[in-house]
Amino acid sequence: MKKALTLLAFTSVGLTSVCQNKLDDYSLIRNVSQDELKYQFTVLDNDKKGVRKYDPEKTYHWYKTQRVMTTQGGASGDLLHGDYSVSYDNKQLKQKGKFKKGLKTGHWSYWNEEGKLIKTEKWKCGELNGKMVLYDEFGKEISTTYYKKGSLSEQKGPKSLWNRLFSRKGKTDSSSEKQSK
């Protein structure tokens, strides 16, 4: 009988610990209105270890006095850490992603004011790392670019992002030159 009670006690303690979900610390969640946008995010718990040494080449995102700030190579407030979302005044999502110790990480998505997806990208330790996709105003994929550790590695699409953003003014592409001759 004693063995049965002991076994029952260990089983119930084990099941209780397995079935309990980690409670979120709601004191770390912030809701801020800034520049006609609504921000919701979490900050790094002061009990957790922060950044020992800031990387001067990375952009850190932080919160202080009701403002979300970004600084290259440092921070002077609570680092963003966890889920992050920004909404337009009309309640449509503008951007959604995650931070880890102030740096973007994981999958990020961006929308226009009508709720159409305009861009998705992957981040790791504050650097673009993986696929970035641009969409047109109808939600159709127009360009795919791949990054590795923050550097451009490959582009795909009818007009690559690089050509669309960085073509020099005054220069025409080869197709318009052929048509004019």
Range in 43-52, 55-64, 114-123 the model is least confident about: 43-52
- Contacts (Cβ under 8 Å, ≥6 apart) of 86: 37, 38, 39, 40, 93, 94, 95, 96
* Cα angle: 137, vertex 142, 148; to 5 degrees: 125
What pLDDT, in 10s, does the model give residues 72-88?
Answer: 999 999 999 999 999 99
Exposed e or buried b per residue across 33-57, where buried means at least 16 C-beta atoms within 10 angstroms of its C-beta: eeeeeebebbbbeeeeeeeeebeee
What is the pTM (predicted TM-score) of this model?
0.72
Q: What confidence score (pLDDT) does residue 105 get? A: 98
Q: What confidence score (pLDDT) does residue 163 get? A: 54
φ/ψ (deg, to 5) at 95: -155, 155
pLDDT band at 153 (very low <50, low <70, confident <90, very high): confident
φ/ψ (deg, to 5) at 142: -115, -20
What pLDDT, in 10s, does the model give residues 3-36?
Answer: 655 544 544 544 444 444 444 567 799 999 999 9
